[in-house]
């Protein structure tokens, strides 16, 4: 019995070490991004610090996803097909936005790998689990509609912010706005939240269901994602960047993470999609 308790305690400690390691790796990437000139970027050329930290974060999470898939070696046709569909929708949306096939393929591949790896971890963990398109088609539709309805006031706040900054509204084609919003809605919810929470649940196991573990997972799935939008602002106006970090975390990232944990992935995707759909529709 003593040996078993000691083993459990050791596993818990290792899990928290893994969580701390995740946070430190991201902090290092963010610090490097702020301090290394854009012209010094190896291999890829970046136009701004946002795109670079975004790319570095995706590469890091893709590497983690590959490690998961190599070590767990679990194949599910349903998960692969669903991951491919989500990846194709996200990649097609990227292609519609900028016409870049390489960007579209890269985004689709990252979505596919992180969704697959995240689902594998949720299937193997004893901790917090997020459901992803696991119910009947009608239940999935209800979840999507629920996410959209809940997003309406948040979308209004988001558009009001853009209006106060630009003072103009230029309505765009609704279908195009809907398609363009697929990429952020799908990719960001899968890569930066679904997979990150899956990693936390795997490291912490049952502790991820406890208050400290759960809020740590939510923190890591919200704050880094919001920070990724702000490095250029941190370099020019740190005070405004801190305000925007708090606002985006509380108004957008936190509700999306809670929707995933309390309901499912598709609800959070619909919530995120509608906010960006409304933004694109109004020309922001």
What is the sign of the dihedral through the CA atoms of 224, 31, 40 and 113?
A: negative
- Ordered by start, the domain boundaries in the chain are 2-281
pLDDT band at 19 (very low <50, low <70, confident <90, very high): very high
Q: Give me the chain's average pLDDT, please.
A: 93
What tens digit of pLDDT does each residue of 85-116 get? 999 999 999 999 988 899 999 999 999 999 99
pTM of the model: 0.94
The mean pLDDT value for 264-272 works out to 98
* DSSP one-letter code for 42: S
Query: What's the length of the chain?
Result: 284
pLDDT value for 7: 46
* Phi-psi domain of 43 (left: phi exceeds 0; alpha: psi -120 through 50; beta: other): left
pLDDT of residue 169: 87
For 37-76, where are the alpha helices, taking DSSP H only? 49-72
What pLDDT digit, counting tens, does each position of 48-83 carry?
A: 999 999 999 999 999 999 999 999 888 889 999 999
Residue 9 confidence class, pLDDT cut points 50, 70, 90: low
Residues 170-192: pLDDT tens digits?
A: 889 999 999 999 999 999 999 99
């Amino acid at each position: 019995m003593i040996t078993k308790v000691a083993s459990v305690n050791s596993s818990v400690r290792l899990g928290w070490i893994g969580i701390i390691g995740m946070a430190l790796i991201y902090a290092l990437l963010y610090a490097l991004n702020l301090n290394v000139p854009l012209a010094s970027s190896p291999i890829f050329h970046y136009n701004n610090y946002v795109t670079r930290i975004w790319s570095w974060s995706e590469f890091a999470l893709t590497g983690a996803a590959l490690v998961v898939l190599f070590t767990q070696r679990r194949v599910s046709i349903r998960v692969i097909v669903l991951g491919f569909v989500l990846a194709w929708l996200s990649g097609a949306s990227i292609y519609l936005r900028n016409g870049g096939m390489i960007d579209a393929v890269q985004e689709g591949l990252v979505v596919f790998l992180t969704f697959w790896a995240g689902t594998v971890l949720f299937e193997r963990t004893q901790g917090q689990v997020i459901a992803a398109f696991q119910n009947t088609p009608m239940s999935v539709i209800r979840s999507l509609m629920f996410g959209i309805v809940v997003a309406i006031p948040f979308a209004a706040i988001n558009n009001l912010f853009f209006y106060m900054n630009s003072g103009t509204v230029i309505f765009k084609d609704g279908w195009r706005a809907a398609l363009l919003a697929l990429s952020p809605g799908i990719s960001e919810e899968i890569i930066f939240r679904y997979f990150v929470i899956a990693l936390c649940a795997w490291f912490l196991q049952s502790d991820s269901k406890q208050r400290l573990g759960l809020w740590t997972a939510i923190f890591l799935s919200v704050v880094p994602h919001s920070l990724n939008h702000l490095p250029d602002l941190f370099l020019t106006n740190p005070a405004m960047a801190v305000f925007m970090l708090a606002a985006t975390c509380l108004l957008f990232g936190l509700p999306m993470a809670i929707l995933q944990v309390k309901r499912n992935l598709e609800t959070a995707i619909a919530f995120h999609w509608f906010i960006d759909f409304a933004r694109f529709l109004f020309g922001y």
